[in-house]
Amino acid sequence: MPIRAILFDLDDTLIVDEAVSRAALEATAQHAFTTLGASRETFLRDAREHAKRLHAQAPVYPYCRRIGISAFECLWGKFLGNTADLTALREWAQKYRVQVFEATLRSLSEQARAEMAEKIELLATSLAEAHGLTAEVEYLPGYPVTVNDEDEYAFAKDTIVDVFGPDRYVHQRNPEMGSEDFAFVGQEVPSAYVNLSACPAADFASAPDNHSPRADFDDSVVPDGAALLAELALRRLRQPAAPGRTTNP
């Protein structure tokens, strides 16, 4: 039987999808740095982690696995075609791209948040134009930045050291980019946010975080947490009221 056609699998052969995906994401991170001052390293790390997680949880994931479409190819691929699987993938990918970068663009100051609000539309429209597309932007500020009041931070630190000893207190030198409900409290009253370590893993840096279904917690720290909260309250009640602040007798 004569050969009538030769079919090529273009994934990472004639078209190097992995390299293209990496270059596209790095270009996006560079653009975020240029226009918004966002850390390229943090942007890439968070985008990769969040993209993989969303991709693995997607209803189209079995189809992606079957035909070899990675989490990163879903960030830029057009997925043209009229089959049910391709249509579902194309529709899901549009929402997926929003979710990935929606969870990646974070800030560490209110000034940066204000600048982001001004420049985010430029970033989105420029990326769309580069791929021959258009973009509509709706900016929602979300959670404010969690910032410790210096006096309240010192008060909490001194209490921890007095009650548990200096070896139980660790200063967090690098801020985290997660959103926190407590930030709304900090906008209204002087506050300090303290983390209580409850990770039983020897290497806490690589352990699943507290939002992961694989997270594990050491309940033995609960009494210490309760003792700290009680001591903070008792010490605060013994202090004279600061200007504009009232305390119970």
Structure tokens at 2: 């004569």
Residue 247 pLDDT level (bands cut at 50, 70, 90): very low
Q: Which residue segment(s) compose the domain that 206 sits in?
A: 150-238
Pair (84, 116) in one structural domain: yes
* Model confidence pLDDT, tens digit, residues 50-80: 888 899 889 999 999 998 898 988 988 889 9
Pair (121, 25) in one structural domain: yes
* 182 is a domain residue: yes
* 65 is a domain residue: yes
Pair (88, 123) in one structural domain: yes
* Model confidence pLDDT, tens digit, residues 77-110: 889 999 999 999 999 999 998 888 775 566 777 7
Pair (99, 202) in one structural domain: no
Pair (177, 222) in one structural domain: yes
Helical H segments across 170-242, by residue range: 182-188, 222-238
CB 107 within 8 A of CB 57: no
Pair (117, 171) in one structural domain: no
Q: How far apart are CA 44 and CA 26, in angstroms?
A: 7
* Model confidence pLDDT, tens digit, residues 113-153: 777 777 777 877 887 888 788 888 777 777 888 889 999 99
Q: Provide DSSP, 8-32.
A: ---BTTTB-HHHHHHHHHHHHHHHH
Alpha carbon 225 to its chain's center: 26
Pair (100, 173) in one structural domain: no
- The mean of the pLDDT values for the chain is 83
Phi, psi of 105 (to 5 degrees): -80, 95
Q: Cα Rg for the chain, rounded, in angstroms?
A: 24
Number of domains in the chain: 2
* 176 is a domain residue: yes
* 180 is a domain residue: yes
Pair (23, 105) in one structural domain: yes
